[in-house]
């Protein structure tokens, strides 16, 4: 460990500093690195002015960070990444969801539940109808992972992909 009074190696950023971080000496004499306030403030975006008549709030479900988003359909506040911004805009136009569920396989040893998901995000308003379709389906054998199954009518088919195996 570096001596508290000795500057850090220039290879760590020159002049005893790592870029974006400030070396601090604690009461115990150890050097610790703290992110500079300059770096922290860079990450925070100024909120954009939204059309208050159209503004809606959402919780982003794209990743576990669950950012609180607000959008008027054009500008988005609260997103930490472009995926969140795209999610918020899509929610305004037409919310989409990927369905993950199970399908019944009725085989000689009994009924097994096989994990499946829709092969593409589907309109949120159609999720109950699609769930009824997949719950009504009965397979007589266990398909391999990646097998495509189809439910629904010929004009509005829904494609499902087998994502797992039965125990």
- 77 phi, psi to nearest 5 deg: -110, 150
Q: Which residue, 8 or 62, is less far from ligand SF4 as judged by CB?
A: 62
Q: Which residue, 58 or 160, is less far from ligand SF4 as judged by CB?
A: 58
Q: Least CB distance from residue 83 to ligand SF4, whole Å?
A: 4
C-alpha to C-alpha distance for 108 and 136, rounded to whole angstroms: 19
C-alpha to C-alpha distance for 112 and 78, rounded to whole angstroms: 43
- Choosing from 2, 32, 55, 66, the residue that interacts with ligand SF4 (CB under 6 A) is 66
Local structure of 118: helix, strand or coil:
strand
Q: Least CB distance from residue 80 to ligand SF4, whole Å?
A: 4
Instruction: Decide: 120 and 167 in contact? Cβ < 8 Å.
Output: no
C-alpha to C-alpha distance for 7 and 127, rounded to whole angstroms: 61
Choices 38-46, 78-86, 109-117, 153-161; region in contact with ligand SF4 by CB under 6 A: 78-86
- Choosing from 72, 77, 84, 105, the residue that interacts with ligand SF4 (CB under 6 A) is 84
Q: Is 97 in the site for ligand SF4 (CB under 6 A)?
A: no
Instruction: Decide: 33 and 18 in contact? Cβ < 8 Å.
Output: yes
Element (H, E) at 39: helix 37-43
Q: Which residue, 79 or 116, is less far from ligand SF4 as judged by CB?
A: 79
Q: Is 86 in the site for ligand SF4 (CB under 6 A)?
A: no
> What does the longest C-alpha to C-alpha distance in the chain come to?
76
Whose CB is nearest to ligand SF4? 84
Q: Is 60 in the site for ligand SF4 (CB under 6 A)?
A: yes
Q: Which residue, 24 or 63, is less far from ligand SF4 as judged by CB?
A: 63
End-to-end distance of the chain based on CA atoms, in angstroms? 52
Residues within the interface to ligand SF4 (CB under 6 A): 60, 62-63, 65-67, 79-81, 83-84
């Amino acid at each position: 460990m570096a001596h508290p009074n000795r500057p850090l190696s220039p290879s760590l950023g020159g002049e005893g500093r790592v870029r974006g971080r400030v070396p601090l000496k604690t009461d115990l004499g150890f050097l610790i690195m703290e992110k500079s306030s300059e770096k922290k403030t860079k990450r925070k975006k100024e909120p954009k002015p939204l059309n208050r008549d159209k503004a809606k709030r959402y919780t982003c479900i794209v990743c576990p960070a669950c950012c609180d988003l607000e959008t008027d359909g054009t500008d988005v506040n609260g997103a930490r990444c472009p995926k969140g911004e795209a999610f918020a805009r899509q929610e305004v136009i037409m919310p989409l969801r990927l369905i993950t569920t199970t399908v019944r396989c009725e085989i000689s040893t009994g009924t097994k539940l096989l994990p499946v998901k829709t092969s593409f995000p589907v309109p949120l308003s159609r999720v109950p109808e699609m769930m009824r379709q997949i719950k009504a389906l009965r397979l007589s054998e266990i398909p391999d992972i990646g097998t495509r199954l189809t439910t629904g009518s010929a004009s509005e088919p829904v494609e499902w992909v087998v994502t797992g195996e039965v125990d």
